[in-house]
Chain A
Amino acid sequence: QQPVQSPQAVILREGEDAVINCSSSKALYSVHWYRQKHGEAPVFLMILLKGGEQKGHDKISASFNEKKQQSSLYLTASQLSYSGTYFCGTGWWNYGGATNKLIFGTGTLLAVQP
């Protein structure tokens, strides 16, 4: 049931791009993306609700492919501040709507080096 993220870890140089994938064996209704730095709480990045939806802010964007039951997070021109562990969270379906009771993925550790 837990979404699987790939890759497990990635090392980048500043300015490089990265893609993090989140795949579920169950139907996806919503995907929430978070970044967590060591010893800190997860920080909300974005939420995607509809199949085929894409969202973005600044140089971080995401897509949601309902048919493939997966979401991807795109980080372009990475900065040192992007380092951390990225988690996707999938929302339960309840009473005809997606919920924010989340099942978090396995996590992807991203390290951006100067």
Chain B
Amino acid sequence: ETGVTQSPTHLIKTRGQQVTLRCSSQSGHNTVSWYQQALGQGPQFIFQYYREEENGRGNFPPRFSGLQFPNYSSELNVNALELDDSALYLCASSLWTGHYEQYFGPGTRLTVT
């Protein structure tokens, strides 16, 4: 059973650019959640995908968007990058939505200059 994987590990972008981050969920999991974690802070919920549909969104602007594919892997896209977008982006997969535990991937460290 493979765990949650994310790519790339690190990324440096310039303000105004666009970025795509990728996540492969744990085998058998159909739900993926994305979180943003700024340095010294707890993770903040961006959105969740369940069976290829967005299933809830946190307080993030529309320039944060996502996709989930039939194999339940997922992408996070951020347009018009701002300096404050610099953070660790974590995806977490779970067997189901609802009250199931989530397993986090190692994260993508995004730096916006």
Chain A interface (Cβ < 8 Å from any Cβ of B): 2, 29-30, 32, 34, 40-44, 47, 49, 87, 89, 91-92, 94, 97-107
Bound: A29/B99 CA distance, A: 9
- Say whether, besides A100-B33, A100-B94, A44 and B101 are in contact (CB < 8 Å): yes
The 7 closest A-B pairs by CB, nearest first: A104-B42, A41-B104, A98-B99, A101-B56, A44-B101, A30-B99, A42-B104
Shortest distance from the beta carbon of B97 to any chain A beta carbon, whole Å: 6
- Say whether, besides A100-B33, A104-B44, A47 and B99 are in contact (CB < 8 Å): yes
B21 at the binding interface (Cβ < 8 Å): no
Question: A99's contact among B41, B56, B105, B107, by CB below 8 Å, is which?
Answer: B56
Question: A91's contact among B42, B43, B99, by CB below 8 Å, is which?
Answer: B99
B90 touching A99, Cβ below 8 Å: no
Q: Which residues of B contact A29 (CB under 8 A)?
A: 99
List 12 other contacts, CB 8 Å, given A2-B42, A102-B33.
A41-B105, A44-B103, A47-B99, A94-B56, A98-B98, A99-B97, A100-B100, A101-B45, A101-B48, A101-B58, A102-B35, A104-B43
B98 touching A32, Cβ below 8 Å: no
B42 touching A87, Cβ below 8 Å: yes
